[in-house]
Structure 1
């Protein structure tokens, strides 16, 4: 029970990675409710900052080196009930690929106009506002 409480308190860190006109999305092998496609994400470890966790998870899941730019916000996700923080990240190296084939089925760089085909419900407002700016340049 302590471990479950710690995960709720530490939460999940999601990386909003934009590169060359698209945002990185991953599809997990096992969905969480309506969550089929999502941003690279995973649990924040004890002693780890949310932004550090977002960077680490992007490397572990997509084999991509990124740098945290800024925390966009956090919320209790309406589908999972988990505390999720969202960090805007920039690519610093590597090539996105399925680095964690146990958890992930595929990944894609999604253009602004196609996001709703991957996530058919409204994004967290600060994330949507960020994507509206950086993908509409």
Structure 2
């Protein structure tokens, strides 16, 4: 493996944390990433693109939902995938979320705090959990 191909494989992943009406948007991937099935809309940060721009783009490409990035919540190496994750809080602009990229996604769901562990049974990254605690309804 060359240095260039290693760098390509190590692109950061930007995840959009979108809360609307007290619920957070989750997507179910057709192919699990490690133990992950349900997760936030997310994808690789492309060359010359900010994490915020990537979160907005990936959300539109995957779900058709228009969002605006409001703040970066944090960054870490994900314990299940080993990829650098950048979590971006986003505001929902308009439209309805649906499966637009049916090669990648199987389903979308809006989850309340009470339903969240039905989708994601393990703890979220601290700053993401703090954001959800402030913005989700029970």
Unaligned runs of 5+ in 2: none
For residues 104 and 5 of structure 2, the distance between their equivalents in structure 1, rounded to whole angstroms, comes to 21
CA change 1:60–1:4 in 2 (3 A) is: farther
For residues 81 and 74 of structure 1, the distance between their equivalents in structure 2, rounded to whole angstroms, comes to 12
Equivalent in the alignment of 2:121: 120
Equivalent in the alignment of 2:24: 23
Aligned CA RMSD, in angstroms, stands at: 1.3
Once the two structures are superposed, residues 35-71 of structure 1 have per-residue CA deviations (whole angstroms, 9 ceiling, x without a partner) of 0000000000000000100000000001000000100
Equivalent in the alignment of 2:75: 74
**1:7·1:43 contact (CA, 8 Å) conserved in 2?**
no
The TM-score with structure 1 as length reference comes to 0.95
In the alignment of these two chains, the number of paired residues is: 136
Aligned partner of residue 59 in structure 2, secondary structure: helix
The TM-score with structure 2 as length reference comes to 0.94
Q: CA deviation at 1:136?
A: 4.2
Q: Which runs of 4+ in 1 moved over 4 A?
A: none
For residues 24 and 3 of structure 1, the distance between their equivalents in structure 2, rounded to whole angstroms, comes to 33
**2:112·2:137 contact (CA, 8 Å) conserved in 1?**
no
For residues 13 and 7 of structure 1, the distance between their equivalents in structure 2, rounded to whole angstroms, comes to 14
